[in-house]
Structure 1
Amino acid sequence: MDIPGDKRLAAAVVMHEGRVLLVRRSRTERFLPGVWGVPCGKLEPGESPADGVLRELKEETGLLGEVVRKVGESSFLSEYHGHEIKNWQDNFLVRPLSRHVTLPEPDQAHDWLTPDRLHTVDIDEYNLDIVRQALTSF
């Protein structure tokens, strides 16, 4: 079995007219099923975090975006077939260049929430911290 090493990820805090885009993960996801958060995903080999965050945004929401700036970094541990993996994540503030959100799974949902309404969905502290990083630098 190929044991993965550290993973690099990038997350997009998409802001439009004072609202943040949050997406609910599919209930079939292995990692954090049904949890709300910002669009995020693994970088491809050789891909820059800024390019990766825009690719992931397009794959996960159908939106085109433009990186405004990097707002911070995060890390977390996950498990893959009994092996602990360290995940390193670059977080970006992103301006949407399109508006129509298209989600890949039918049981997913999305919402544009003002910062004071983020608590109205099942968002974890990790994703809240990513949004706070972006709002602090906004």
Structure 2
Amino acid sequence: MDILSTTGNKRLAAAVVVRKGLVLLVRRSETERFLPRVWGVPCGKLEPAERSEDGVLRELKEETGLLGEVVRKVGESSFMSEYHGQETKNWQDNFLVRPLSLHITLPEPDQAHCWLSPAELHTVDIDEYNLDIVRQALTNV
């Protein structure tokens, strides 16, 4: 087990899904504790001992209903959040993913999704952290 999976740290994986030059963004539910109603790429916590390449595809399926294929790892990022009243360091692997299916099913009724060109990303309420992840993935596509 590596140091990142110890107490006080969370491991995550994010999927930048690109199809025909468009990037998939998903709006988080208003019921989310962390960044409600903010647009971003599909991302979630890894299971204990789960490889990030496997976890990113599992999270993509859980959050969008899409099947995908990892093209490549595009970078890493980290951020602090509060979890059960304790500051937590979040370590995230970011992947470029090609969709293998196209029908999107979101878990919450108040969520939304869109496919945007890189020039259109500013038209939704996306934070700088998610923009940076998309930029990582679109470099050398």
Do Structure 1 and Structure 2 share a fold, with TM-score over 0.5? yes
Q: Deviations over 1:56-112 (max 9, x none)?
A: 000000000000000000000001232110000000000000000000000000000
Name the amino acid aligned to 1:103: L
What secondary structure, in the 3-state scheme, does the structure 2 residue paired with 1:63 have? coil
Aligned to 1:135: 138
Question: Aligned residues: percent identity?
Answer: 83
Aligned ranges 1:1-138 → 2 under 5 Å: 4-138=7-141
Question: Aligned pair count?
Answer: 135
Q: Which runs of 5+ in 1 are unaligned?
A: none
Contact 1:71 1:137 in 2 (8 A): no
- 1:134 is displaced (CA, Å) by 0.3
Name the amino acid aligned to 2:101: S
Counterparts of 1:135 and 1:98 in 2: how far apart (Å)?
Answer: 21
- 1:45 is displaced (CA, Å) by 0.6
What secondary structure, in the 3-state scheme, does the structure 1 residue paired with 2:139 have? helix
Counterparts of 1:137 and 1:125 in 2: how far apart (Å)?
Answer: 20
Q: TM-score, normalised on structure 1?
A: 0.96
Structure 1 stretches of at least 4 aligned residues deviating more than 6 Å after TM superposition: none
Counterparts of 2:140 and 2:56 in 1: how far apart (Å)?
Answer: 18
- 1:5 is displaced (CA, Å) by 1.5
How much is the aligned-residue C-alpha RMSD, in angstroms?
0.7
Name the amino acid aligned to 1:97: L
Q: Which runs of 5+ in 2 are unaligned?
A: 1-6
